[in-house]
Structure 1
Amino acid sequence: MSTYRLTLIAVLAAMATVGRFFLQHIPNVQPVTAIIILSAFFLGPFSGFLLAFLTTYLTNLALGMGIWTLWQILAWSLIGVIAGLLGKIIKRRVLVYLTVLAFFSGFLFGFFFAVINYIVSGKFLGYYLLGLPFDFYHALSNVLFIILLYRPFSQLFAREFDRVNQRKK
């Protein structure tokens, strides 16, 4: 992995961290998932994993570190890997697929935590059902952030790909 790519991931993690801090007062509305999806889609699954790890660690240093940090890293990493693999397959109607992935990622994130809660406490259904409204907010905010950030991110990553391709020539 190049120094440029690592720097890009660090800047993306900073953007996601600032976005999460700025919107922390609105439950489950934050740009982290959308930034991970977009970045992983264009940069690949490993970059999505690295971004998820770094963003979760940085934000939880200020918002509160606990056992949930590990689950957040795993959930966001899973979403990043899925987006990265999707980026290797999808070449047309990208925004549509990313929007659908973003919507379902809000529910996937909540479901992941419900499963972890079941493993820890033996309770699943009540925890999951009570979390559905928050998962819905997460899903809607993901769609909104994907729509807002898709064009700038695709232009940013197009420059990265042009720069890499020029160096290879």
Structure 2
Amino acid sequence: MNTYKLTLLALLAALAVAGRYAFAFLPNVQPVTSLVIICGLFLGPVAAIFLAVLTTFLSNMMLGMGIWTIWQVVSWAIIGLLSGILGKLPYKIPLLVIVVFSIFCGYFYGFVISLTNYPITGKFIPYYLAGLPFDTYHAIGNAVFMIMLYPILAHFFKGYITKRL
């Protein structure tokens, strides 16, 4: 990983942490998932996983660390891996497909977080169903953040891609 890529990751992590903190008053609405997806699309799966780990630990230092931190890392790392694989496709992915993928990732994140309750209580379905409204907030937030952030960040990442080639 070169210095330029590390700088981009540090800036994305700072943006994600600040965004997560700024939107803490809205349940489950934060730009982290969208930024992990964008990072995976442009910088690859390893960078997206690194961003997921960095963002989760840094933001949870302010918002509260707990056993859920591990599962947040797992969720965002899988999302980063999937988006990194999508980014390796040889053709340009339309913004609408990326927005739909970000909506799916909002529900996927909630699903993984809900799985963590099963070893404790032995019940998954009630916990998951109770969390569906929050997963919907996350999915809608992802779509809004993706529509707002993707065009701007894509412009900057294209500069990185041309420097890399």
Q: For each residue in 1:104-136, what CA deviation from the matched residue of structure 2 results, as whole angstroms up to 9, or x when unmatched? A: 011000100111211332110110000000000
Once residues 63 and 93 of structure 2 are traced to their aligned partners in structure 1, the CA distance between those partners, rounded to angstroms, is 37
* 1:11-160 superposed matches below 5 A: 11-89=11-89, 91-160=91-160
Q: For each residue in 1:23-49, what CA deviation from the matched residue of structure 2 results, as whole angstroms up to 9, or x when unmatched? A: 000001111100110111111000000
Counting aligned pairs with the same residue, the percent is 46
The gaps in structure 1 that reach 5 residues or longer are none
Structure 1 residue matching 2:88: 3-state secondary structure: helix
Mean Cα deviation higher: 109-118 or 124-133: 109-118
The gaps in structure 2 that reach 5 residues or longer are none
Look up the equivalent residue of 1:123 and give its one-letter code: K
Structure 2 residue matching 1:97: 3-state secondary structure: helix
Which residue number in structure 1 is paired with residue 8 of structure 2? 8
TM-score (norm 1): 0.94
Once residues 55 and 90 of structure 2 are traced to their aligned partners in structure 1, the CA distance between those partners, rounded to angstroms, is 26
Equivalent pairs, count = 165
Once residues 52 and 124 of structure 1 are traced to their aligned partners in structure 2, the CA distance between those partners, rounded to angstroms, is 25
Once residues 42 and 120 of structure 1 are traced to their aligned partners in structure 2, the CA distance between those partners, rounded to angstroms, is 38
